[in-house]
């Protein structure tokens, strides 16, 4: 394998990225748009871009991802894609009748400077947007940011286009879940239901990208946040934004536009981050935490207490999205593990500072880099070995080359199934993560044990 030629000599690279730990903004925007009920995402660019974005999401979620495209050719690339978008809006509403078209831009349309709001206005003047239907948009050039910032931009556009304040407060809490799988969004809703708190979660891909197989195809599955719910977010009691990178921009926009009080939290992955989420939800809604939630917390703590000797001191390398890595790093430290090397492809010095704060009391100096790639992670591992790797499918090459167990967490996971049905957030999600970590550690222990030492019972 070519990775066996990865050098241990680390040099600063300003322009060259090797095996990036991210993908492009439009993918995140498309995923967020699918979290609106009856929404058809639309890629304003070439047909090839849209095909790539759809295929990446389809491979991760194992569900057919529908989206439209402006299908740029040479003419649109030179003279602009306005005519293409206006025609596309008319065709989409005529043929597929979505409630919402969510337009995101690509490198090509951004580079030539297409004015998407102007094109949407032209479509409206032509009568191509039926009464009661909507077209929203966000700017997502692939040459900046990552899929996480694309998700954030589209989620913010939901606020910009839909959220309204009538002055009549609603007894509900907004939750912006961040770039997580449908099962995680469903778990957040389950926890809120256990606490008897009415929430509006947006976007919401549960019931959309993990819908059951019934033998009947639905262009628009039953899941997703509805337009009336999005409009109502301006009258909610509070907003909880889960994740500084993916969720905070929408929460800040809602606070600025409708004066809805905002609290920015880490993703509720692991014990402490879930504690903070539960407490914030309790405070915002003015309710008490039921014993059923405390029981789930106790189960998580029970496993940590019973299995601490297997976690303690194990060194871990992590790669993925910044919001997930922040919460995962804190969880690993809670378990007595050592997060030795951490990289994200999403740029941002704030991420590095946050990780340094979390790991300040670690027994070793932790390597952390934002806007980086898996090549650097591999170099770090070659110079300083670890016991586990936590990351997406693309980490499997490093895991194979260095003979290190890989725990698949994050996006994309294209070589396994089940992740879209099993959460990693909340106490139940923490238990699932503990099981995955323990399985990896104990499988390796069994593999390497001599016949006289292999354990039958832990």
Mean pLDDT of the chain: 96
CATH topology of domain 293-448: Rossmann fold (3.40.50)
Can you tell me which residue has the tokens 């300003």? Answer: 14
The C-alpha torsion from 246 through 153 and 33 to 259, rounded to 10°, is 80
* Residues of the chain where predicted confidence (pLDDT) is lower than 50: none
Write down the pLDDT at residue 179: 98
Residue 458: per-residue pLDDT: 66
Q: Going by C-beta distance under 8 Å and a sequence separation of 6 or more, which residues neighbour residue 313?
A: 336, 337, 338
Per-residue pLDDT, 2:
55
Q: How would DSSP label each residue in 406-446?
A: EEE-SS---S---TTTS--SHHHHHHHHHHHHHHHHHHHHH
Overall residue count recorded for the chain in this entry: 458
Which residues have C-beta within 8 Å of that of residue 293, sequence separation ≥ 6? Answer: 191, 194, 195, 278, 427
pLDDT value of residue 456: 82
pLDDT, residue 116, reads 97
CB atoms < 10 A from the CB of 367, how many? Answer: 21
Instruction: Tell me how far apart the alpha carbons of residues 34 and 215 are, in angstroms, rounded to a whole number.
Output: 21
Alpha-carbon distance 400 to 65, whole Å?
31
Domain spans of the chain?
25-162, 173-290, 293-448
Give the helix/strand (H/E) hosting 43: strand 39-44
- 18 φψ region: left (φ > 0), alpha (ψ -120 to 50), beta (else): beta
Q: List Cβ neighbours of 458 (8 Å cut-off, separation of 6 or more).
A: 307, 310, 442
293-448: same fold as 173-290? yes
User: What pLDDT shows up at residue 433?
Assistant: 98
Report the CATH fold assignment for 173-290. Rossmann fold (3.40.50)
* Whether CATH 3.40.50.1980 fits 25-162: yes
Bin 386: left if φ > 0, else alpha if -120 < ψ < 50, else beta: beta
Buried b (16+ CB within 10 A) or exposed e, 81-110: bbebbbebbeebbeeeebbbbbbbbbbbbb
CA 240/CA 242 separation, integer angstroms = 6
Residues linked to residue 135 through DSSP beta bridges, in sequence order = 101
Q: What is the pLDDT of residue 75?
A: 81
DSSP assignment of 336-372 equals: T-EEEEEEESS--HHHHHHHHHHTTTSSSPPEEESS-
Is the separation of the CB atoms in 182 and 62 below 8 Å? no
pLDDT in tens, 383-437: 999 999 999 999 999 999 999 999 999 999 999 999 999 999 999 999 999 999 9
């Amino acid at each position: 394998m070519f990775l066996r030629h990865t050098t241990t000599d680390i040099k600063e690279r300003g322009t060259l990225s090797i095996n990036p730990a991210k993908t492009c903004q439009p993918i995140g925007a498309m995923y967020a748009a699918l979290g609106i009920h009856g929404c058809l995402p639309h890629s304003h660019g070439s047909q090839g871009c849209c095909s790539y974005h759809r295929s990446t999401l389809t491979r991760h979620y194992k569900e057919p991802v529908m989206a439209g495209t402006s299908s740029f050719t040479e003419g649109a690339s030179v003279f602009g894609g306005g005519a293409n978008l206006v025609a596309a809006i008319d065709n989409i509403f005529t043929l597929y009748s979505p409630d919402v078209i969510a337009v995101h831009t690509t490198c090509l349309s951004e580079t030539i400077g297409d004015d998407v709001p102007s094109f949407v206005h032209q479509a409206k003047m032509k009568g191509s947007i039926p009464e009661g239907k909507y077209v929203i948009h966000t700017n997502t050039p692939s040459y900046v940011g990552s899929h996480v910032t694309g998700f954030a931009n589209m989620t913010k556009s939901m606020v910009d286009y839909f959220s309204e304040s009538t002055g009549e407060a609603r007894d509900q809490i907004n939750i912006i879940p961040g770039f997580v799988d449908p099962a995680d969004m469903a778990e957040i809703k389950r926890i809120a239901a256990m606490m008897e708190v009415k929430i509006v979660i947006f976007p919401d891909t549960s019931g959309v990208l993990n819908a059951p197989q019934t033998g009947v195809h639905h262009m628009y599955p039953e899941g997703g946040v509805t337009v009336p719910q999005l409009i109502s977010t301006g009258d909610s009691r509070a907003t909880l934004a889960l994740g500084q990178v993916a969720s905070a921009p929408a929460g800040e926009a809602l606070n600025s536009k409708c004066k809805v009080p905002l609290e920015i939290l880490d993703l509720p992955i692991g014990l402490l981050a879930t504690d903070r989420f539960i407490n914030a939800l309790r405070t915002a809604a003015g309710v008490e935490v039921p014993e059923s939630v405390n029981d789930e917390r106790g189960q998580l703590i029970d496993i940590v207490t019973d299995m601490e000797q297997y976690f303690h001191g194990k060194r871990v390398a992590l790669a993925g999205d910044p919001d997930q890595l922040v919460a995962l790093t804190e969880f690993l430290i809670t378990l007595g593990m050592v997060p030795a090397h951490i990289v994200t492809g999403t740029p941002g010095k704030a991420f590095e500072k946050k990780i340094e704060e979390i790991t300040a009391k670690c027994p070793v100096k932790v390597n952390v880099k934002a806007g980086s790639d898996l090549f650097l992670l591999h170099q770090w591992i070659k110079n300083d070995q670890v016991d586990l790797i936590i990351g997406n499918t693309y980490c499997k090459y490093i895991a194979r080359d260095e003979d290190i167990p890989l725990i698949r967490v994050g996006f994309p996971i294209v070589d396994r199934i089940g992740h879209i049905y099993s959460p990693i957030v909340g106490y139940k999600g923490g238990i699932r993560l503990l099981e995955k970590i323990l399985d990896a550690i104990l499988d390796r222990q069994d593999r390497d044990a001599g016949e006289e030492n292999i354990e039958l019972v832990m």
